[in-house]
Chain A
Amino acid sequence: MSVTNVISEIKKDFIYNLLLKGERIDGRTFDQYREISIQRDVIRKAEGSALVKMGSSQVLVGVKMQPGEPFPDTPNKGVIITNAELVPLASPSFEPGPPNEVGIELARVVDRGVRESKAVDLEKLCIVPGKQVWIIFIDVHILDDCGNILDAASLGAIAALLSTKVPAARFGLGEDYVLPIRDIPIATTAIEFNDVLMFDPGVDEEAIANTRLTIISTAQGNICGSQKSGAGMLKPEQIYRIIDIACEKAREIREKFLEA
């Protein structure tokens, strides 16, 4: 949710009136996603990359890898570090500076999807046990916030990982090889407004909604992450309804774009 996206009273009323008639501003149905496109390998210098467009939202995710020290409590496991830059170029409400709570939340939810689905086998990223492992940096760079950048970022992360080549040669660790990925977690987000649930919210829809729920599901249809965001409330029935649609949407997106 864009934290300081101020929407004029005029636009708010306009959207609200449409909602009462069962319509969305762009004519979509309530569970319909905008047009999605994914371009992989767009940044040569990165080990993996993907540019995701969801409607007019645009998110670029780059994956960089380098050898480094493991965390002391997991001496034989590789490390994943996920960061999101909500750069001021992408929205009039993004300010320059280190990530604020919105950016941090976005990065951590994207990370959750990758980590909890075990898409990357961290033990396979061990180079010298206890001393050297592969560090994977997933860097989300928002280019155009037209709503639901979380789903776009999450999709970008897994798409970038799927196209990542481990740069072993550069560090004298053998030949480059494709990073093995074991699952394809997909995040799907719905907002709730006046008891109406809307998936893939546009930027104006986000600005009027109190509550947002993101569900991250795996290729098996299990849930590996979820996040309720915003200062509103959800009833359990609403949550289960969202989960049903979310998993179905995730399956559609996974099949259409990311299965080989």
Chain B
Amino acid sequence: MDRKVVVPGDLLSEEAKRSGEGTYVKNGGVYSLLYGLANFRDKINVIPLAGKYIPGPGDNVIGVVKDITFSNWIVDINSPYDGLLHISEFPIRIESDEMSKYLRIGSSIMTRVADVDPTMKVELTLNDKKLGQIKAGQVIEISHTRVPRLIGKGGSMISMLKKEVNCNIFVGQNGRIWIHGGTEDMDLALKTITLIEKEAHTNGLTDRIVGFLKKEKGARS
């Protein structure tokens, strides 16, 4: 058995070195910290079934500017922690009093988490060609716990989706996803993502999505 539903405090193993994410070690034993699915591989990880999005360095996220200070945009990233976009992380050099000209309160951005410090100060960056302000297309919000399923093993699900709906898609680890393409294509993409979110926990999802896309595209033409 390589997967099991566990609750906080469940003893998972007597081998302390197998302690992975979502577990802790006490008296040489590995215990679960979470209510979730325990994965028994070399390391034992427990994936929670719920929880807030906690930013980690390297995460792509979609944020909404909620405030502007002297040198930072304060960005809502759908987390207990706001992201800080420092003026120096803006792709072009601008002055402090120009900040709201470029990104005002309410602007949406595709950004990346550059760093997170021990007090959970989250620093964002826009210094990358693939990042920037969202000016067109649509953004959908799903539960961040479904994002791994949307991406799929090695990116298989998201690559397939991009190809089939012929859209640009930016997946934020915080559950926000940007889609850009023709109107009908975007509609289909939104519908498909909603379906994936709803059925993320079930078996055979990839095949069902492939079938769904075929049917919808067939109905169109």
Which A residues have a C-beta under 8 Å from some C-beta of B? Answer: 8-11, 13-14, 17
Contacts and interface: CB of A to CB of B under 8 A. Distances in A.
B211 to A, nearest CB: 21
The 3 closest A-B pairs by CB, nearest first: A10-B139, A9-B106, A9-B64
Given A8-B64, A8-B76, A9-B64, A14 B138 contact: yes
A17 B108 CA distance: 16
Nearest to A11: B141
A10 B138 CA distance: 8
Interface in B137-157: 138-141
B18 interface: no
A150 B62 CA distance: 34
Q: Is the interface of A mostly helix, strand, loop or mixed?
A: helix
A6 to B, nearest CB: 9
A19 B78 CA distance: 24
Interface in B52-73: 62, 64
B176 interface: yes
A17 B155 CA distance: 29
A17 B140 CA distance: 12
B76 A17 contact: no
Nearest to B107: A9
Nearest to A18: B190
Contact of B138 (A8, A9, A17): A17
13 contacts: A8-B76, A9-B64, A9-B106, A9-B108, A10-B62, A10-B108, A10-B140, A10-B141, A13-B138, A13-B139, A14-B138, A14-B139, A17-B138
B189 to A, nearest CB: 13
Contacts of B108: 9-10
A13 B178 CA distance: 13
Q: Quick one: which of A9, A11, A14, A17 has the most chain B CB within 10 A?
A: A9
Interface in B65-102: 76, 78
A17 B190 CA distance: 12
Interface string B40-58: 0000000000000000000
Nearest to A8: B64
B31 to A, nearest CB: 30
A11 B139 CA distance: 8
B178 to A, nearest CB: 9
Given A8-B64, A10-B176, 17 more contacts: A8-B76, A8-B78, A8-B141, A9-B106, A10-B64, A10-B108, A10-B139, A10-B140, A10-B141, A11-B141, A13-B138, A13-B139, A14-B138, A14-B139, A14-B140, A14-B141, A17-B138
A168 B4 CA distance: 55
A152 B108 CA distance: 35
A10 B64 CA distance: 8
B183 to A, nearest CB: 10
Interface in B88-127: 106, 108
A91 B109 CA distance: 28
Contacts of B106: 9
Contacts of A17: 138
Interface in B160-201: 176
A27 to B, nearest CB: 11
Nearest to B178: A10
Nearest to B186: A17
B217 to A, nearest CB: 19
B72 to A, nearest CB: 19
Contacts of A14: 138-141
Nearest to A21: B187
B109 to A, nearest CB: 11
Contacts of B176: 10
A14 B176 CA distance: 12
